[in-house]
Structure 1
């Protein structure tokens, strides 16, 4: 997500979405089979590193950060702390209610949303009796990547007070209403900090709408190839009333929690002979998503979770996460333009550093070939000079 270029008001628009019926509570078991059944694999026999019983998250667990992943400095008003409980207004097609979400684990550094594992005592939301779920709050105050890309100062209480005063006034309301058309004044180079905050609130709200529209269009993929969307939520923001098209409070989503490892960590968690099949499964998910009218423009190796699954032919199941930066079929005038967009998307996956196909081929030293439609020419990369993959890997490599 760090490579995403924040769009300007001239091109940025919220996707159209219907607020109803975009969450799924289906308990039906998916019976689809893997396309790679020709290679039988017994995960319990061949993968010793992953055959231990899953250990439940403790109330104090935080993902360790590397030196390159230090989170932005905390402030006294920072609510996302392990052990804290935060209020959420939960919205489902059936009901609305207020709940307390206890933060169990943080996914840091935050990018365009604040993502964490939370525990909520709400039987209507729990899946298979599991009270742990993923909460993503689209909170411009602490969405570090948005602020960094937009060259906006770190959030502070003083900035927030100025923004509230600005947004509550006639000038601020006029400025916000002009953002979708790109007709706001003054020009971007002359914005003050309150106008910066208003633009960030607008773009962050747009990312939320992209995420929820994607889940709605891909409803048939929920619970298998993508997490299940459990509910929309709002983190209340006091009595602040923002002008349209901004959301009231900080919007978010509650998602099915899927334990596993990032696909970028594939060589340290799966045998070499399975790398190609796992990448094939990831590419299949992208193709299926595009068939449903969704182009994920911010897809990386870390956009996939890989978990142990003895019911799969490979012993692993791939799940795609993060849909905040997407394009949709209904944004294009005709089918030909949509096909061109999909073709360009295939090329970007392979040729641009940071995109999934390029990075998986590069990180695995050419041990896999990222799948692509046969009508597109193959990308040839010389990996001979790279040498062996560093680190402790499986014995069969």
Structure 2
């Protein structure tokens, strides 16, 4: 089995396809209110394939790789003259006028964290040939388990017998390991690739559906989604056609994660404000019927903003320069390991599930501990998390709601 410390970063791989300067040709399926409403009406289902509409052919130049965990996330420049929208068609929320965007690709070949979790070797053309050979086996006997089961939609496999420790240091897929059903220890590399492809596709479909359900928050509390994409040409002809899909998303700049607060916000008197904003965005997203099992410090961005002072020292003076105050807003990202309220799940059942998972505390308690370690002295102010208890009800039974 491949050990964590022996798995090279995807970017350093010999066959890595998305190096800076590479031009990616893709079909862009622009999000529209109709497709969003259809997903919202059926939140239990994952997003369907791109809608029956004419795609827009675009060219994207890779600027840099942002991450390679459960997907391949790239900063790209829309280099063929296509203009990204400057406002949300749903809420009219203004968007930055820019050619930069985030391209999040469902590409198992270079999703290093996903491959590591399933003991997959670094991707090579030889590995892909074994995958192709495995896919010639009749479908009804191909898999020992399925990632698409409606009754148990997270039937992931892992060599961790008790699921207590995901191999990925990113901890992003710990929830998958806990749901382990079948060991993949004796799988062939072709079998492993085929299964990872199922997992990657499911993560993609789930995230697209979640973002569509959060359409009213796009551009404000979550990134705006310009559309879904399908790459036009992927890999060598000899390896067969690879179907790589993804999302073209708003690039939020400047921004940094909650984890970076000590370095990016040296004024510790501002930490309480930022921490409360982070807890608030978790509450807002949850109130839209979303349960996110991957709420972490790294998945909430802090966005510095400027707010003009309402009162000027000399409002009548034209020579008086405008003054503004530094403010911070927060944005939640990454919904691959999330779900909407199920069709047969009552509001109270969903509330209890949210209460048990305690997404708010997953940010609040962890951030308080993180900033406590970083504060300069015992007398310095820092973030103090105060649980809202907003999901508590008098009839709750903690013993029943615990794992």
TM range (shorter): 0.5 to 0.7
Whether 1:249 and 2:208 are equivalent positions in the alignment is: no
Offset at residue 187 of structure 1 (A): 6.6
Structure 1 counterpart SS, 2:21: coil
Of 294, 298, 308, the residue aligned with 1:298 is 294
8 Å Cα contact 2:144-2:182 kept in structure 1: no
Mapped to 1, the partners of 2:329 and 2:8 lie a distance apart of 30
Structure 1 residue 78 and structure 2 residue 20: aligned?
no
Deviation at 1:126, TM superposition (A): 4.7
Q: What are the ranges of 5 or more consecutive residues in structure 1 without an aligned counterpart?
A: 1-66, 243-247, 378-397
> Residues 216 and 371 of structure 1: is their aligned pair in 2 closer, same or farther, counting only changes over 3 Å?
farther
Q: Which residue in the other structure is 2:82 paired with?
A: 123
Per-residue deviation, 1:375: 5.7
Summarize the alignment of residues 158-307 of structure 1 with structure 2, pairs less than 5 Å apart: 158-167=126-135, 169-172=136-139, 174-175=141-142, 179=146, 180-181=148-149, 188-236=184-232, 237=234, 249-259=243-253, 260-270=255-265, 271-307=267-303
The answer to whether the 8 Å contact 2:70/2:200 transfers is yes
1:46 match: none
Superposed, which structure 2 residues align to 1:325-344 within 5 Å?
Answer: 325-330=337-342, 333-344=345-356
C-alpha separation in 2, matches of 1:227 and 1:183: 28
- In structure 2, relative to structure 1, the CA distance for the partners of 1:263 and 1:187 (3 Å cut) is closer
Paired residue secondary structure (2:295): coil
For residues 259-314 of structure 1, the C-alpha deviation after alignment (integer angstroms, 9 at most, x for no partner) is 11222111222221121111111111111111111111111111122122113876
Residue equivalent to 2:366:
359
The aligned residue for residue 323 of structure 1 is 335
> How many angstroms apart in 2 are the aligned matches of 1:291 and 1:177?
37
Cα distance per residue 1:223-245 (max 9 Å; x no partner): 11111000101124467889xxx
Q: Aligned partners of 2:144 and 2:307: how far apart in 1? A: 51
Q: 1:316 to 1:70 in 2, by over 3 A?
A: farther
- The answer to whether the 8 Å contact 2:106/2:201 transfers is yes
Q: Is the 8 A contact 2:204 2:246 kept in 1?
A: yes
* TM-score after normalising by structure 2: 0.66
Quick check: 1:79–1:86 contact (8 Å CA) kept in 2?
A: no
Deviation at 1:133, TM superposition (A): 0.4
**Which residue of structure 1 aligns with residue 383 of structure 2?**
368
1:139 matched to 2:107? The reply is yes
The 1:148–1:344 alpha-carbon spacing in structure 2 relative to 1, beyond 3 Å, is same
- Looking at structure 1, the residues matched to 289 and 144 of structure 2 have their Cα atoms a distance apart, in angstroms, of 29
Contact 1:283 1:371 in 2 (8 A): no
Q: Is the 8 A contact 2:279 2:363 kept in 1?
A: no
Q: CA–CA distance in 1 between the matches of 2:340 and 2:368?
A: 27
Q: For 1:98, which of 35, 53, 57 is the aligned residue?
A: 57
- Check whether the contact 1:227–1:321 (CA below 8 A) recurs between aligned residues: yes
8 A Cα contact 1:210 1:326, kept in partner: yes
Contact 1:281–1:318 (Cα < 8 Å) also in 2: yes
Q: What is the CA–CA distance in structure 2 between the aligned matches of 1:358 and 1:171, rounded to whole Å?
A: 49
Indicate the RMSD between aligned Cα atoms, in angstroms: 3.1
Is the alpha carbon distance of 1:278 and 1:82 closer, same or farther for their aligned partners in structure 2, counting shifts above 3 Å?
A: same
User: Structure 2, unaligned stretches of length 5 or more?
Assistant: 33-52, 87-95, 150-154, 158-180, 309-324, 374-381, 393-403
Runs of 4+ in 1 over 4 A off after TM superposition: 182-187, 238-242
- TM normalised by structure 1 equals 0.67
The question of whether the paired residues in 1 share the 8 Å contact of 2:83 and 2:99 is answered with: no
CA distance in 1, matches of 2:134, 2:384: 52
SS of residue paired to 2:142: helix
